[in-house]
Amino acid sequence: MNDLTHATPIGCELGTSASKFCCDDTLVIFSSVVGDSLTEKMEESWRLMNRSKDSRWARNLAIFDDSRNSWRYVGAMTRNSERVNWFTDQGLIRDHEDAFLATKAGLFLLAQEMETQNKPIKQICIGFGITVRHGENVIENFFSFMKDKLIVREGKKFLTIKAKNVALNQIKEIEVELVFSVMQYQAYGAYMSLLFSKYNMNIYNTYIVDIGHGTWIKLPIIENEAEINLSDSFTEGVHTITKNISKVIFESSAQKFKIPEQRIMERLPSKDYKLEVPGVGVYDFTKYLQHESQLMARSIVQRISNDMSLLSQKGHTVDYFLIIGGGAHLLTETIRSEIGKFFEWPEEVLTQKIIDANTLGVDPRYINCVGLMLLARDQIALEMNQEVDPVYCIKTIIQDTAQ
């Protein structure tokens, strides 16, 4: 039995557009991008010219890359990089070096915040989320890469992280002991959150739909295990919708103007579907958004229905459906409506079977990461032969976006 009394369970999810790290009541989010740093002289000039009052570590972070013997900017700080690298593509880790730097960045930012709360991180256990397209060999290669970077002393494995706040010209170095890391499919994190909260540690067959920026994932969980043969990820997401809207507007305007996809994306959370176009006026893309959302929802529900038929042949039924991810706010109601039409379920059945993700106490965008933390917490309890604490409550969210 290992003594993990002081171990900190951490959830880690390296997403296509954003990386998320969670421990205790704190969540860290930053863009999944790493870039070249400026020279020392250029950094000095940048600090003189930088008029932003946002000098937080999350906004101005650089991590020292031992393999390159140089600093690398992470997340928002890459706005100053000449060359940038989005180290994940379609949910897959494409660059081990930069994904490892991002992992360091997430752990460092969590450690910084926990220090202010008098909860220092010294010993960590990581629940790591992977997409269903990774496969065991791919993620094992990444873990093997990380293992080679660890320092071994007296049989223990340590990770040294050297970070710099470029805006403050401040350097800090920390060291944490990595006790273990467990991997699971990203969407399984959402199931863990359900298991610990709504399900009260009882097992229910659950169908997870995770809609991200560039991909969406389907993960049926039957008798507490992922149904591997029916799990998959698809290269469609919110980006697909905004890209198609931009294209339609461009073509319908006789190629007079093209609205950048990012401008469309920025309007979605506030449900403000009107844009000011110079020389043209206000353009309302509501009808295009509804059309594209319905097309994607129908495609998702078609795959759900196919899986339901296959599960039925095996004698299984699905108790609950959960829609999560960055696209949940946009697509949940449309998918809910399409499921109701397809299965001819009345409103009371829909209300019972389709869980409202907003009732789980965590934004649907972050629930996977929280669940991966719970996965690590559960493993710690097993190691110590103790009951697991099922309570979670996110109070602090640290982002690299401007404040």
Tell me: do 65 and 143 sit in the same domain: yes
Tell me: do 368 and 304 sit in the same domain: no
Buried b / exposed e across 14-34, counting CB within 10 Å, b at 16+? bbbbbbbbbbbebbbbbbbbb
Output the pLDDT for position 136: 57
55 located within any domain: yes
157 located within any domain: yes
Tell me: do 339 and 390 sit in the same domain: no
Tell me: do 177 and 227 sit in the same domain: no
Question: CA–CA separation, 220 vs 328, rounded Å?
Answer: 17
Tell me: do 163 and 308 sit in the same domain: no
Tell me: do 114 and 237 sit in the same domain: no
* Residue from 203, 189, 146 nearest 367 by CA: 189
Tell me: do 180 and 31 sit in the same domain: yes
Tell me: do 294 and 256 sit in the same domain: yes
Domains contained in the chain, number: 2
pLDDT tens-place string over residues 147-160: 888 999 999 999 99
Kindly report the CATH number assigned to the domain that includes residue 13.
Answer: 3.30.420.40
Buried b / exposed e across 354-373, counting CB within 10 Å, b at 16+? bbebeebebbbbbbbbbbbb
Output the pLDDT for position 108: 98
- What phi, psi does 316 have (nearest 5°)? -110, 150
Q: What is the pTM of this model?
A: 0.91
Identify the weakest region by mean pLDDT among 79-93, 107-121, 248-262, 337-351: 248-262
Tell me: do 59 and 171 sit in the same domain: yes
Tell me: do 168 and 241 sit in the same domain: no
pLDDT tens-place string over residues 189-203: 999 999 999 999 999
The average pLDDT across 291-304 equals 93
104, 63 Cβ separation under 8 angstroms: yes
Residues in contact with 225: Cβ distance below 8 Å, sequence separation at least 6, in sequence order: none
- Whether residue 10 is predicted with pLDDT greater than 90 in this model: the reply is yes
Tell me: do 299 and 374 sit in the same domain: no
- One-letter amino acid identity for 266? E
- One-letter amino acid identity for 13? E
194 located within any domain: no
Q: Which domain, by its residues, includes 241?
A: 200-360
195 located within any domain: no
1 located within any domain: no
The average pLDDT across 228-237 equals 88
Tell me: do 256 and 148 sit in the same domain: no
